[in-house]
Amino acid sequence: MRDWIVVRERYLRDDLPVRLGGLAANLSRIKSFASHYANHEAVESILDESKFFIEWTAPEVEIDIAAELVELQIQLACWQRRWTSIWADPVQRNRVAEQSSVWSKRILDLSGLLS
């Protein structure tokens, strides 16, 4: 089990754009890792971490960005709730991979790191 207090302290040391970039990177990892069935636990861990990243970041962003982050957090929770069936079905797993890629691009755009 991860020490979430340590992870939180480390995550919050970064500026807001870097934190959003880290969330975007996690979402990109989901897409990448979903192509290999053996990555089940790794992706599940990334889902957990990403939900925490949103929880720790949302209070510091503008309301419209916070709303998008909350929408993403709900999506991650929905995936996690059905994770066993999603992972067992290549079509559903691919759908999650594609959706996580779309979210990754959106969060990276919101971060301003590419501007």
CA pair distance 44, 79, nearest whole angstrom: 9
Domain membership flag for residue 7:
no
- Which portions of the chain are predicted below pLDDT 50? none
Domain with 38, as residue range(s), is 15-109
Q: CATH number for the domain including 35?
A: 1.20.120
* Total number of domains in the chain: 1
Domain membership flag for residue 105:
yes
pLDDT of 115? 86
Domain membership flag for residue 19:
yes
CA pair distance 101, 107, nearest whole angstrom: 10
Angle in degrees, CA 42, 49, 13, rounded to 5: 130
Domain membership flag for residue 63:
yes
Whole-structure pTM value: 0.94
pLDDT of 2? 81
